[in-house]
Structure 1
Amino acid sequence: MDERAVRTRVHGAAVEARDPHSGALRWRHTRDGRRPLAVLHARGEAIALWDDGLVTDTDGRRVRWHRALPAAAGWLRAQGGTGVLRPLGRDMLAVVTPSRVTAYRVADGDLRWVLPARQGCAFAPARAVRHSGALLLAQPCAPSAAWTAQLVAVDALGRITPRRRPLGDAVPPGRHGAPTEHPSAEKVVAPPR
């Protein structure tokens, strides 16, 4: 049977993968004294968020990579893991905590970018929404802050802003090399008057 044809879930103190047709247990992953808060199925593996702030990627046979979330364990134990693990396309994972958004490449757990919350603000992971290729994040601030400062859009390349320069090593779709002033390869000349 195809290893990708499993249904992953949190069950008690374990992350489990079950056959979607028969319900039979395919594999189970635990960590001594720890409890998984959320699990996300990506690229045939299970990415789990644990109550101590560790994020693990397992294929059921081994843990492929793990990353620790700085200063997140207390908040996770109090709030849970709702909305913390967010896919940014097929190959990128966003981990959203109140203090920062961190993006990892799913294939190997490589850190791709970090976006800290603005001073006086905090991200609200449970209030994030996907729209097209973007993840829209609530970043509540002081009541006097403009609503535009309380919403942040990110994708696999980082924060979406006008005329951004991608932080990653990928070229945005539709662009090949340096941006050109005009889409036509011909020289643009003003029309005669």
Structure 2
Amino acid sequence: MVRTLLRKPASRTALPPIAVLLVLLAGAAAYANRPVPFGDRVAVPGVSDARPVSSETLAADGLELRIGPGLEAYDSRTGAHRWSYRREGAVALGLVRSGGDAVVVWDDGLVTAVRPGDHRVRWHRAVPGLDSWLRHGGSAADTAEPSAAVGTGAPAATGRQRGLATAQERARAVLHPVDGPEPWLAVLTPSLAMAFRERDGDIRWIIRPPADCFYDPARAARTDADLVVVRPCADGDGTGTARAGRAEGFGIDGRHWWLRVGPQARPARLDGQRITLADGPVLGVRVIDAGHGAPVPGCRSPWAALAAQLPAGHCPAPAGKSAGGRSGGR
């Protein structure tokens, strides 16, 4: 009985050695030719065949990084081409430095972090609706075929060229790196605010504005650890008339505060902790602590005497005054 259990399988159940070899070779070929995730292609070194689609450059780790149709790296001292990073079927539109990485935004809505020193792709993240906004956001005229130029003697740009230029302009406002103590990256579109931890691409938060309101990526300001974004709103009566909105303050762990602002409010960095908020002729320019949303009195403000601590560094103009010191109503 024991011999029966231990006997060798019948020859018809075992693959011949040649068949085993063929199976292994087929598996190895399939593995070698498997689709590359996200269409990644890295070539090093060599002569770049890229014709830059943007004048953007970024210095990092002894390299000059340029937007190609992908990302091109050149030795900052000699100008020699070091490496190219491309994604099949996608065009790189914007580039920022975040932490130790170069972060690229692509026309298909993907955001990619690349370590410049060894051209290692560290993470990819897809942002919902980003591709649609980059390509088609704004008015229909952004992507319409223009009529021929009249009286200039120069040919009109094609609809594709104009569409690419518009997408590049939007892409410049999309990425907002914040140093932190823990570096993080905000990605803004009108319909979405999203944040990633820089070191691993971990999603920290996703916030959508309510109906009839939107985030304005071009009206954002960063301090050392925080991001302030304006969220305008419309009346909701179908006319698109602007009404009061919000300025919202974000950290790596989410939204910390908000202030009601006028429809034209615009933040700007003042220093590592504070922003200025230009809010029309009535409210003028306010100085805000970006971490808490608290107004900071100007050095000449009547409220300065009541402040527990006067602001250090720059002396902001008092509320209701422009940066030049003249009344906002004049």
Whether these two folds match at TM > 0.5 is yes
C-alpha deviation, 1:132, in angstroms: 5.3
Q: Does 1:84 align with 2:142?
A: no
C-alpha deviation, 1:150, in angstroms: 3.0
Would the alpha carbon gap of residues 25 and 5 (structure 1) be closer, same or farther in structure 2, given more than 3 Å must change? same
Aligned to 2:31: none
Q: Which structure features the higher share of strand residues?
A: 1
The within-5 A match list for 1:74-113 is 74-78=132-136, 79-80=166-167, 81-90=171-180, 91-113=183-205
Aligned to 2:121: 63
Q: Does 1:145 align with 2:250?
A: no
Alpha-carbon contact 1:100-1:114 (below 8 Å) kept: yes
Cα distance in 1 for residues equivalent to 2:76 and 2:218: 27
Q: 1:6 aligns with which of 57, 63, 71?
A: 63
Cα distance in 2 for residues equivalent to 1:127 and 1:86: 11
Q: 2:106 aligns with which of 50, 68, 71?
A: 50
Aligned to 1:182: none
Cα distance in 1 for residues equivalent to 2:75 and 2:209: 40
Secondary structure of the corresponding residue to residue 132 of structure 2 = helix
Aligned to 2:297: none
Higher relative contact order (CA 8 A, sep 6+): 1
Alpha-carbon contact 2:179-2:224 (below 8 Å) kept: no
Secondary structure of the corresponding residue to residue 173 of structure 2 = coil
Would the alpha carbon gap of residues 42 and 134 (structure 1) be closer, same or farther in structure 2, given more than 3 Å must change? closer
The within-5 A match list for 1:97-136 is 97-131=189-223, 133-136=225-228
Cα distance in 2 for residues equivalent to 1:44 and 1:28: 18
**Identical pairs, percent:** 38
Alpha-carbon contact 2:112-2:125 (below 8 Å) kept: yes
- Consecutive unaligned residues of structure 1, counting only runs of 5 or more, are 163-171, 173-193
Alpha-carbon contact 1:4-1:45 (below 8 Å) kept: no
C-alpha deviation, 1:33, in angstroms: 1.7
Alpha-carbon contact 2:104-2:111 (below 8 Å) kept: yes
Q: Does 1:32 align with 2:124?
A: no
C-alpha deviation, 1:111, in angstroms: 0.4
Alpha-carbon contact 1:89-1:156 (below 8 Å) kept: no
**Residue type matched to 1:38 in 2?**
G
Secondary structure of the corresponding residue to residue 29 of structure 1 = strand
Would the alpha carbon gap of residues 62 and 36 (structure 1) be closer, same or farther in structure 2, given more than 3 Å must change? same
Aligned residue pairs: how many?
158
Q: Which structure features the higher share of helix residues?
A: 2
* Segment drifting more, 79-88 vs 47-56: 79-88
Q: TM-score, normalised by structure 1?
A: 0.72
- Consecutive unaligned residues of structure 2, counting only runs of 5 or more, are 1-59, 137-165, 235-240, 259-290, 292-330
Secondary structure of the corresponding residue to residue 125 of structure 2 = strand
The within-5 A match list for 1:164-175 is none
C-alpha deviation, 1:119, in angstroms: 2.2
Q: Which of the pair has more CA radius of gyration?
A: 2
C-alpha deviation, 1:157, in angstroms: 2.6
RMSD of aligned alpha carbons: 2.2
Secondary structure of the corresponding residue to residue 125 of structure 1 = coil
Alpha-carbon contact 2:178-2:223 (below 8 Å) kept: no
Cα distance in 2 for residues equivalent to 1:130 and 1:45: 18
Would the alpha carbon gap of residues 6 and 44 (structure 1) be closer, same or farther in structure 2, given more than 3 Å must change? farther
